[in-house]
Structure 1
Amino acid sequence: MDNQQQDTITLHNQQQQDITMQNQLQQEHQSQDPRHPEHEWQSSLFNCAPCGTCLLSSFLPCILIGRTSGRMRDPSMETFEEFNSECLAFCGIQCLTGCGWIYSMMKRGEIRDRYGIKGSDCEDCAVSFCCSCCAMIQQDKEVKWRTAGLAPITQGYQSQKEGLQMPAPMMQPEHQPEHQDHRPMQQPPMQQPPI
């Protein structure tokens, strides 16, 4: 087998490995893609424990919504404030229109999308309207479970000091007839313009 055939076989094997790796990466990406949810809620809709969370959802649901949203932003709860923007938004919507369940439904959809939980917008609507307290408890417990042990995201984009590093292209050696000269071509010297 000559060198050209070996190079062709090597190139073919490399292409097959690249295709296999691309397929694996696509499968991994699809499993993490919210459009392809795989997960279930970690607790039942009607599991209203712990008692403190149950009381919050019944009497001060705005604080529970704010706490759940705050935990999504900062899992360590270091920067959490009881009366944050989500708490005030829910409270305002509930007091002015009586439709706080719509805000809860939107947050439920956000949680499902972020964590790849099975469900639909119609289910979110029905659960949030009919069992608003239970839905908020389930959402809070889900976010607490999913973010356990995670640190807050405190730093934004960090620029790289070295810039983008590209590997040198791999060149296939070309077969040249033996009678050709192997010296590199010389370029003419550049002339400087007169000043």
Structure 2
Amino acid sequence: PPNSGLWTTGLCGCTEDCPSCWCALCCPCVLVGRMANILDQGMTSVFTGAAIFCIVQWFTGCGCLYSCLYRAKLRHKYGLPEEPCNDICTDCWCNCCSIAQAYRELRNRNINPALG
């Protein structure tokens, strides 16, 4: 596995995984749901994670606060730094990029989030 203390791709590394980037841009709830399922070790279904993201986004416009929770879980699990700034700022200012980066990180660590 990659070095535990470093991200395997940058925040704007979308060219390294175009399908995930497009999904994060067009339907971020899918990737957030998949990450929730993996990072909660199956306790949150893909559908539930995606639905919570959608509900929070639709009613408050702050789905980034929900996806931020999973970025933080991922960082803690692998000892990753808060880059380029803290999780809330990263997710609120660059939500699609942040979701795509976290999804790539799981894949680069040989975890296939698409399998749920």
Code of the residue aligned with 1:98 in structure 2: it is: G
CA distance in 2, matches of 1:67, 1:128: 17
Which structure has the larger Rg over C-alpha atoms? Answer: 1
The 8 Å contact of residues 20 and 104 in structure 2, kept in 1 or not, is answered as no
CA distance in 2, matches of 1:63, 1:124: 20
Count of aligned positions? 105
| 1:58-97 equivalences in 2 (<5 Å) | 58-72=25-39, 73=41, 83-97=46-60
Instruction: Establish whether residue 41 from structure 1 lines up as the match of residue 7 from structure 2.
Output: yes
Which has the larger helix fraction? 2
**Residue 98 of structure 2, aligned match among 135, 144, 150:** 135
Code of the residue aligned with 1:117 in structure 2: it is: L
Sequence identity percentage: 30
The 8 Å contact of residues 30 and 50 in structure 2, kept in 1 or not, is answered as yes
Offset at residue 84 of structure 1 (A): 1.6
Offset at residue 52 of structure 1 (A): 1.5
CA distance in 1, matches of 2:101, 2:14: 8
**Residue 52 of structure 1, aligned match among 19, 22, 27:** 19
Structure 1: 5+ residue runs without aligned partners?
Answer: 1-37, 75-80, 150-195
Offset at residue 70 of structure 1 (A): 2.6
Offset at residue 147 of structure 1 (A): 3.9
| 1:43-192 equivalences in 2 (<5 Å) | 43-49=9-15, 50-72=17-39, 73=41, 83-119=46-82, 123-148=86-111
TM-score calculated relative to the size of structure 1:
0.49
Larger RCO, structures 1/2 (Cα 8 Å, 6+ apart): 2
The 8 Å contact of residues 71 and 144 in structure 1, kept in 2 or not, is answered as no
Q: Extract structure 1 runs of 4+ deviating beyond 3 A.
A: none
Structure 2: 5+ residue runs without aligned partners?
Answer: none
Offset at residue 55 of structure 1 (A): 1.3
SS at match of 2:14: coil
Root-mean-square deviation (Å): 2.3
Code of the residue aligned with 2:37 in structure 1: it is: G
